[in-house]
Structures are given as C-alpha cells and as structure tokens.
Amino acid sequence: MSIKHKIRSLVPAPVLSGYHYALAAVTAASFGLPASRLKVIGITGTKGKTSTSAMLWHILQNTGNKAGLISTAFFAVGEDTKINDIKMTMPGRATMQRLLRQMIKANCHYAVVETSSEGLVQWRHLGIPYVAAVFTNLAPEHIEAHGTFVNYREAKGRLARQIARHGGTAVVNLDDMEAEYFISQSGKHVWGYTFKNVCQDNIERCIAAEIIKTSSAQVEFKIDNLKVNIPVGGEFNAYNALAAMTVALELGIPLERSAAALASFAGTPGRLEFVQLKPFAVVVDYAHTPE
C-alpha cells in the first residue's frame, strides 16, 4: 500500500468525500463552469472506455462536429492532440477544468470525457451536466480503491444518477450482466445496444447488430442492412464501435455517417498499436486485459 493510500485509509470516508466535493466545486467555479457550455458525453465501464471514447471523438470530428477528448490515452482539443502523460484516466480537477475551458476557446461543441470510478468517487464530475453517458460493461476488476464490487458498482452508478438528474440519455450495453443495474439508475432516457438481440421494452431505443467477421486487423458487422467495416481487430472493438455509433445517433448523427467515419479510424494509442520497425514490428498495448 502506498503512503497516499495509507493516509487515505485513516481519514473517515465522509470527511474525505466532503474534502473532494468542496475542492471540485471550488475548482469548477474558478474556471467558470466550462462544461456548462459544452455538450459532454461520459464513457464509463470496466473495459472499452478508452477505445469507445476515441471512436466517438473520431466520429464527431469527421462529421463536422468539433469535439474535445479527455481519456487515458490522449487529450484532444479539436484536431490538436496530446498524449496523456499524467497517467490518470480522469485527471485532477484543475487539469480537467482547464482542458474543458480550452475546448470552449477552440470553439468545440462537444467534449468526450472518459469517466472513471475513482474520479466519480472524488467528485471530479461535479459541475459537468452530461448530456449522455455510455456504460460499456462492469466486471470485478480495478476495485482496489473501492474495497468491494458493490462499492465499485455504486461508484459507476453515480454517473447514471447524474444523467437522470440532468435529463440526459444513458447508452447501455444490453449484453452485459449489469445492464439492468444501469438501466434502473439512469432515469427515463435509456438507449441500448446489443449483438445478442436482447432488446428490451423498458428502454427508449435499441440498436441491434450482428458480427459478420473479425480478425486481428479488422472487424465487420451489420446493423440491419448497413455494413460497418473498421480497421481495428477483435470482437471487443465491435462492441466499442457499436457503443460509439449508438451514442452518436442519439446526438443526431446518422448511423451511415458514423460508419463512414469509423472506416478511417486508425486505432487508439497504446491499444493494439502496431509500430513497424525494420526488420520487425512491435505491438504496443497497455490495456489491463486481452479485451
């Protein structure tokens, strides 16, 4: 256990939460609540957050919708990108608020924010009126900071409840075992996506797709008669792409335009990233699991 975590364990949870809340509130206010002037989309889940965030940002940028991105892999303000070298999925309050303000100055309309459970517990989402949020999946991983899976799920649920309070739309992976939990927490505006044809009557809209083929270099699936080809491999990337396309549709971008945009998606830095070197190739991947 690090010194930071040891000290944190000695502070009563309500006191620590109050400290984080106050700090987040003051910081957001000092930057002029920049998120209130953007359409912010949150992406959360155990797996797929970073790639789904990158895909959604790519769709927005390639359909004439200037967007910013805050993610584990990189930050973006419109077309200007920078590797995330601070090693935090959801950066500390000042960093995140500064990035959001930069997006406004650059005339961005959207902000895609990869939203972590620890960031939610520390109130880093305070002052962000998310218009939509994607819930990719939930598994008993990354729970060290939360102690139990129930606490971890509850932390993710904070984003769902914030969406409900602001009248935003939750986009839920219906194939995941925890889908019902997120649906129950997200209010009346819930969309779903599925490859297993498990659409439900208790949501507003469901996007059902079918995987045609996958390889290490590409994935192909179809939504009704629309074929989607993406130059990144693995079934998990089919889920990431479908999630991004579903939330983009909720934002008003037709599926056909999202599919055309994703045809040029080059992948996410640090996620099955191929680097060609003579006389061999290197694959860079720092995801926590094979998915």
Domain boundaries, the chain: 3-284
- Which pLDDT score, from 0 to 100, does residue 21 have? 83
In the CATH scheme, what architecture does the domain 3-284 have?
3-Layer(aba) Sandwich (3.40)
- Which pLDDT score, from 0 to 100, does residue 275 have? 47
- Which pLDDT score, from 0 to 100, does residue 17 have? 74
- Which pLDDT score, from 0 to 100, does residue 274 have? 47
Bridge partners (DSSP) of residue 227 are 222
Q: How far is CA 104 from the centre of its chain?
A: 20
- Which residues in 212-225 are b (16+ Cβ under 10 Å) and which e? eebeeeebebebee
Q: Nearest CA to 145 among 167, 170, 116?
A: 116
Instruction: State the residue for tokens 């090693």.
Output: 87
> What global pTM score does this model have?
0.89
Q: Give the residue ranges of the chain where pLDDT is below 70.
A: 1-12, 20, 93, 142-144, 269-291
- Which pLDDT score, from 0 to 100, does residue 146 have? 77
Instruction: State the residue for tokens 């155990």.
Output: 46
The token pair that represents 171 in the structure block: 């986009």
